[in-house]
């Protein structure tokens, strides 16, 4: 494996409505899956950056990370670029983690309809 380095891990999930409970549930699902697939402990997480499509504003997805106990992890939320024709109702994440995984071993996670965002990686989810 080698020494620990910071790697970026991407992921996305979509919801069916701009609903606080649904956004939090989907975000938790995504974060847990990313953590499981990459053997990440919360102490390994350097930071997490979330974006939401402009049609989602019921809650900050960072609240879901706090619900998972990630109280000391720096978190940031922003609005995704409003590109015409892009997948609506989508939560994206870029997690920066300290890991011994090589870049080719990192598992990026795309769930639900968000799998279409990166079909080349969707088989890994």
Residues tagged active-site? 10, 66, 77, 80, 92, 110, 118
- With vertex at residue 31, the alpha carbon angle to CA 42 and CA 107, rounded to the nearest 5 degrees, is 95
The residues, ordered by sequence, that sit 6+ positions from 108 with a Cβ below 8 Å of its Cβ are 9, 10, 11, 118, 121, 124
- In angstroms, the first-to-last Cα distance of the chain is 22
């Amino acid at each position: 494996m080698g020494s620990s380095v910071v790697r970026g891990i991407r992921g996305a999930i979509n919801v069916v409505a701009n609903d606080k409970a649904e956004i939090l549930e989907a975000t938790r699902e995504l974060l847990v899956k990313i953590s499981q697939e990459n053997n990440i402990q919360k102490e390994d997480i350097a930071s997490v950056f979330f974006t939401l499509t402009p049609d989602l504003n019921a809650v900050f997805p960072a609240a879901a990370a706090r619900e998972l106990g990630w109280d000391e992890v720096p978190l940031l939320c922003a609005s995704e670029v409003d590109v015409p024709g892009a997948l609506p109702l989508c939560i994206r994440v870029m997690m920066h983690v300290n890991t011994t995984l090589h870049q080719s071993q990192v598992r990026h996670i795309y769930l639900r309809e968000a799998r279409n965002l990166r079909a080349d990686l969707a088989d890994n989810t």
